[in-house]
A = this chain, B = another copy of it.
Amino acid sequence: MIVVMKPNVNEEREAQLIEWLKGMNLGVHVSRGEFQTVLGLVGDTSKVDMELIESLDIVDSVKRVSETFKFCNRKFHPDDTLVKIGNVTVGGGHFVLMAGPCSVENEEQIVTVAKAVKASGADILRGGAFKPRTSPYDFQGLKGEGLELLKLARKETGLPIVSEIMSVQDLPLFEDIDVLQVGARNMQNFDLLKELGRTDKPVLLKRGLANTLKELLMSAEYIMASGNENVILCERGIRTFSDYTRNTLDLSAVPMLHELTHLPVVVDPSHSTGMARLVPPMSLAAAASGADGLIIEVHNDPIHALCDGAQSLRPEEFDTLVKKIRKVREAVR
């Protein structure tokens, strides 16, 4: 850790800081430049509160030299992580297509959509059973019943299933679910992350609306530090001042995350844009940016079918899109 002092700091106060640091069993190398002094801290700096030191009025800035994320850091694990979900592999050049309805509604719906997306080439079926809704008065999902319907659809199609878990208490219900999704709102629900780290199930971790890449990686680190290294990261749009789209899809996160971590990175073009007609171009863009997969909403119910424009694609739109995605994947290989 490096502490850059402000210019012309009172010597006595600098000495007090150095004493305090030494009191934490750290070696302190003092390097005096013409203008300022830099303290190099040696030893176990993981317990040092960077923010506290940075906030001192004699300190200009603090830099960690050793990265704060370890398990998910590409520096310490240069090869891509491959996450196995049944017969499906994600990462390391293996592209995964997850598709299905926003919410599981009934058997006919989920089985019909599952068959359709499988026929188009989807690898994994998605479907929400526990729905995080801004309003307590909005539909909260079929919960346990929804998970049972997903399993039925898996039985019919052989597709592994991914569904969102919102609470540690629901974990027993997810025992037979293939991939556990952590939604954007729960990205920093650290108790949930730790508990998921104690399972061996693949976790699809969505980036929060206002979270930095570093925070996303630290949340992955919570899961991995608890023992589960099967983490798939998901970019799903950040909150900005945008006037047309619901959120702003940050595709530069894909290559940036690939540089920082060995974990697979998938993209959710449906929730980020909130408009079905933006899903195809953003899916193609995500594939071109190097994403390891996509998670796309596909529906087949009548109101969606009668009017374009909802967030979900119709099965035939998905089918057309998948063909183009494959071409883009080939083009950028």
Any B CB within 8 A of the CB of A189 = yes
The copy count of this chain in the complex is 4
Any B CB within 8 A of the CB of A149 = no
Contact of A2 among B36, B46, B65, B185 (CB under 8 A): B36
CA separation between A273 and B49, bound complex, in Å? 17
When the two chains form their complex, are residues A259 and B285 in contact, meaning their CB atoms are under 8 A apart? no
Any B CB within 8 A of the CB of A25 = no
Any B CB within 8 A of the CB of A230 = no
When the two chains form their complex, are residues A241 and B241 in contact, meaning their CB atoms are under 8 A apart? yes
Any B CB within 8 A of the CB of A11 = no
Which residues of chain B come closer than 8 Å to A303, judged between CB atoms? Answer: 17, 20, 52
A300-329 CB mask vs B (1 if < 8 Å, else 0) is 001110111111000000000000100110
Which residues of chain B come closer than 8 Å to A324, judged between CB atoms? Answer: 331-332
Chain A residues with a Cβ under 8 A of chain B = 2, 4, 7, 13, 16-17, 20, 29, 31, 33-36, 38, 40, 42, 46-47, 49, 51-52, 55-61, 63, 65-66, 68-69, 132-139, 166-169, 185-186, 188-192, 194, 208-210, 212-215, 218, 221-222, 225-226, 238-245, 248-252, 254-256, 259-260, 272-278, 281-282, 284-290, 302-304, 306-311, 324, 327-328, 330-332
When the two chains form their complex, are residues B35 and A33 in contact, meaning their CB atoms are under 8 A apart? no
When the two chains form their complex, are residues B281 and A68 in contact, meaning their CB atoms are under 8 A apart? no
CA separation between A304 and B17, bound complex, in Å? 10
When the two chains form their complex, are residues B241 and A239 in contact, meaning their CB atoms are under 8 A apart? yes
